[in-house]
A and B are shown apart, each in its own frame.
Chain A
């Protein structure tokens, strides 16, 4: 163990958390409406536009076909255009968000599809608009699944940030490659992996706890 271990780790953890937080928010901003649209635009649903549904589905599938590391390379010019550089944590947020948004959209779609047709029918029979049904029925009814899905997304994005680290994004992944792998610093390698394990465990634990809390309130027998 060498003296630079702690400052290196602290900086890397900060960068990783920053990238994960920002990309998650951005991925949700893009993915949530897409996921909702995927569901409601489907034939027979509350906002039927079958062609839109098909186009969206295809675009999302194409985006999801890219290996993430290739997607980063493809999107480097976009990062340079928006952030001004293609290096560093902020620049990495662009490909991270765009890369994970389609995944988030599919997650949201799967969750919202769980809602029983009868509940939607009941809301329609009461004269609810598609917007009201999304806000007051689809999302609240699937809230615990949504929380679990978003937890999964955050963990996937955490993994992506490590990959992004390989090509200059900073963070724990970058530290592991630059020091742990290239400079044979086993202490750094072990420390980054340990921190990542803790991070993922922590996120999962928190997500499970939140989801359970939502379910407990609704389904406890009175």
Chain B
């Protein structure tokens, strides 16, 4: 589904050249929820931005669903991006538009016929549980609701992949799990591949099936979530695994009660 081969990316600063990604190789299967975890500055954000070329890699290739993303011209890249959803830590909704319009934006860009836009927006807005907020502006929503709009917007055009750039990092724990549940539901319903980067171990443990650990621009460990937790090999992974205990049961119960909140 997603194949990253020998990917390199550097940033040139006035004083030096920083290697942000070093020879990344990764394969992600269709329908997987794949976590990329690392400390701040490890390169995880750069990596996910390279997947839809919001950042241009220096060398290497990225294939998504049979298409070589790294080989596309401007116009083809725009077409490809319409099938790669993305959600963000700070939501990045448009304040000038209502929830409805925010979601419709993705469809307008994808040149949906007008009549179908309304239908599709209503459908997707219901999926994320915000039907009563269609005419609200982002400023009137809570963080969790904003991320639901972000998710709705990214799903509107039936993407093949969803990229999640620290999507729960600015949410409180309760809302975090509600959003993760929604992502899980979407993953199951549409067999949608989700690539998510996070520095939160709880998030990884709760939702991901496969994990890659990234450190100083290099992937130092990959495996299933169970492998990672039961047998961490690198020091960073050990640190990550030990740093936080698994999700406390208390919190999970709390979650059951407040699932529809946020």
Contact = CB atoms under 8 A, between A and B. Distances in A.
Contact of A124 (B54, B96, B105): B54
Nearest to A142: B96
Interface string A188-222: 00000000000000000000000000000111111
B105 A121 contact: no
B81 interface: yes
A42 interface: no
A221 B139 CA distance: 7
Contacts of A123: 105, 109
A128 interface: yes
Given A127-B82, A141-B95, A121 B137 contact: no
Contacts of A140: 94, 96-97
A100 B19 CA distance: 46
A118 interface: yes
Interface centre among A121, A217, A220 (most CB of B within 10 A): A121
Contacts of A121: 54, 88, 92
A26 interface: no
Nearest to B89: A118
Contacts of A218: 95-96, 137, 139
Given A132-B109, A218-B139, A124 B81 contact: yes
Interface string B84-126: 1110101011111100000001101110000000000000000
Contacts of B137: 217-219, 222
A11 interface: no
A122 B82 CA distance: 11
B261 interface: no
Given A127-B81, A137-B94, A140-B94, A122 B88 contact: yes
B79 interface: yes
A127 B110 contact: yes
- Sort chain B's interface into a size bin: 20 to 34
Interface residues of A, number: 24
A219 B139 contact: yes
B9 interface: no
B79 A127 contact: yes
Given A124-B81, A126-B81, A127-B79, A143 B109 contact: no
A194 B97 CA distance: 41
Q: Is the interface of A mostly helix, strand, loop or mixed?
A: helix
B105 A129 contact: no
Contacts of B147: none
Contact of A118 (B79, B80, B90, B157): B90
Given A122-B86, A126-B106, A127-B109, A222 B92 contact: no
Interface string A92-134: 0000000000000000000000001011011111111100100
Contacts of B136: 222
Nearest to A133: B109
B70 to A, nearest CB: 16
A128 B109 contact: yes
A137 B54 CA distance: 17
A43 interface: no
A136 interface: yes
Contacts of B79: 127
B52 interface: yes
B101 to A, nearest CB: 9
Nearest to A219: B139
A216 to B, nearest CB: 11
A132 B78 CA distance: 12
A140 B97 CA distance: 8
B44 interface: no
Given A121-B88, A217-B137, A127 B78 contact: yes
Nearest to A119: B92
Contacts of B210: none
B105 A126 contact: yes
Nearest to A218: B137
A217 B139 CA distance: 10
B52 A125 contact: yes
Interface of A: 116, 118-119, 121-129, 132, 136-137, 140-141, 143, 217-222
6 contacts: A121-B88, A122-B86, A125-B52, A125-B84, A127-B80, A140-B96
Given A122-B93, A125-B52, A126-B157, 9 more contacts: A118-B90, A123-B105, A123-B109, A125-B54, A125-B86, A126-B153, A136-B105, A141-B96, A221-B139
